[in-house]
Structure 1
Amino acid sequence: MSGDLRLILFDVDGTLADSQGAITSAMRVAFDRVGLAAPSRAEILSIVGLSLPLAIAELAPTLDASVQAELVEGYKSAYKSARLAAGAGHSPLYPGAAEVLAELNAVPEYLLGVATGKSQRGLDALIEAHELRCFVTRQCADHHPSKPHPSMILRAMADTGVAAAHTVMIGDTSFDIDMGRAAGVRTIAVNWGFHPADQLGADHIIDSFADLAPLLQHIWKD
């Protein structure tokens, strides 16, 4: 383990990217295609961060597995079609996100990564659309158990050789913060995402991306 390096892990949906419109729209299309009323916007956003099959199971627990599978595929299809049509505007970055990523990436000791419930395809497309080539580790739902299992963070730390004491997880949902806690790393909740930040039990809360760099300096001042 390197004592000099610091690993900064970001969730994507609701933390870096404002994808609520894209997610709710795709979910409504998926439910419509199987002839069912879609869950409410609040219900849909409450499961963002879970892997897609688990999210569907949470939204529609009484449906047969075959129908749940149809919903999963319907969501994937609708989301991809909308993304291809809209490009970078499909899931715009939150204000200050690109700037803080560039700022942190310029610090030699900092390594940036993502830990997301998105698929590999969806993550790669978003990174390409916004030209976010700063991440040295990209952990996604295709290769890990769903959040809040700590697998994504544990793999990111193993890949980069950074200890838990020198790692932070930044996210907007209970799944992100619980995952960070399970992995034994410091957690930072953002105050603009899909779950109320003050209810997540994170070690720290930031109100804007402008707060992040000073907070990291404070955390790692020793």
Structure 2
Amino acid sequence: MKLVLFDCDGTLVDSAALIHETMRRTFLHFGKPEPTFDDTKAIIGLTLDIAIARMQGKQHADQEAVEMMAYYKSLFSTVRTDMDYREPLFPGIFDLMETLEKREEIILGAVTGKSRRGLDSVRETHGFRFVASRTADDCPSKPHPAMVTECCDETSMRPADTLVIGDAIYDMQMAKAAGATAIGVSWGYASVEELRQAGADVIVDHPSEILAHIG
């Protein structure tokens, strides 16, 4: 048996445009300098209040970051309704997930910096069936290992039999902190070198390559 835990943004779905536009409107609303697309990509994967703080050069979320997070959440659904800011699957993801769902020895899960509502929206839109999942509403922000270890506990799986698949350095760091295998994907928002430095055990360039590493 293997527990396979997927990050969402940048791994399963291409949500960078949606996240950036929502973040851009949030920063402007609070009178902050408009963030660049690269600024936004660098924080995808973190819990939202910490991400907003980091974008302003702060290490920890303060009250302003919490207020900005609340505004971001209130705006997100509105921005999503714009057809220019959908969250499409990356090429090859649908086939990969369809294959994994048919394998009885695989337990599928998700570990994401999205809210529970955000993950449910992606899950319902694309038909994903996760046995276990943890979001920003449930656990400390990545790279804290709680998302992984709690999914392990829920499914009675060992971290040694768990694979974490993600596109961010925080995913790799979280996996290693939990004692799981870290698989980095090159189609997301961090560079291959950044993933390697963060502890990735392997880097894949297409979703179909993940099957070989699951074994």
TM-score for the superposition, normalised by structure 1: 0.90
Deviations 1:133-186 (A, max 9, x none): x21011101010000000000000001111122110000011000000000011
Amino acid corresponding to residue 210 of structure 1 in structure 2: S
CA contact (8 A) 2:21 2:79 kept: no
Over 3 Å counting, the alpha-carbon distance change for 1:111 and 1:31 in structure 2 is same
Shift of the alpha carbon at 1:75? 1.5
3-state SS of the aligned residue for 2:131? strand
1:155 aligns with 2:153: no
1:187 aligns with 2:185: no
1:204 aligns with 2:199: no
* Distance in structure 2 (CA, Å) of the matches to 1:109 and 1:118: 27
* Distance in structure 1 (CA, Å) of the matches to 2:22 and 2:94: 25
* Distance in structure 1 (CA, Å) of the matches to 2:47 and 2:61: 18
Counterpart residue number, 2:53:
57
1:30 aligns with 2:19: no
| Mapping 1:103-142, distance limit 5 Å | 103-132=99-128, 134-142=129-137
Amino acid corresponding to residue 213 of structure 2 in structure 1: L
3-state SS of the aligned residue for 2:5? strand
* Distance in structure 1 (CA, Å) of the matches to 2:76 and 2:185: 25
CA contact (8 A) 2:2 2:214 kept: no
CA contact (8 A) 2:6 2:109 kept: yes
CA contact (8 A) 1:34 1:70 kept: no
Unaligned residue ranges in structure 1 (runs of 5+):
218-222
Counterpart residue number, 1:72:
69
Shift of the alpha carbon at 1:126? 1.1
Counterpart residue number, 1:94:
90
* Distance in structure 2 (CA, Å) of the matches to 1:138 and 1:164: 15
* Distance in structure 2 (CA, Å) of the matches to 1:110 and 1:196: 28
RMSD: 1.8
Over 3 Å counting, the alpha-carbon distance change for 1:97 and 1:35 in structure 2 is same
TM-score for the superposition, normalised by structure 2: 0.93
* Distance in structure 2 (CA, Å) of the matches to 1:65 and 1:148: 19
Tell me which moved more, 60-69 or 170-179: 60-69
CA contact (8 A) 2:12 2:90 kept: yes
Give aligned pairs, total: 211
3-state SS of the aligned residue for 1:143? coil
CA contact (8 A) 1:97 1:209 kept: yes
* Distance in structure 1 (CA, Å) of the matches to 2:62 and 2:42: 21
Counterpart residue number, 1:213:
211
CA radius of gyration, larger in: 1
Shift of the alpha carbon at 1:34? 1.4
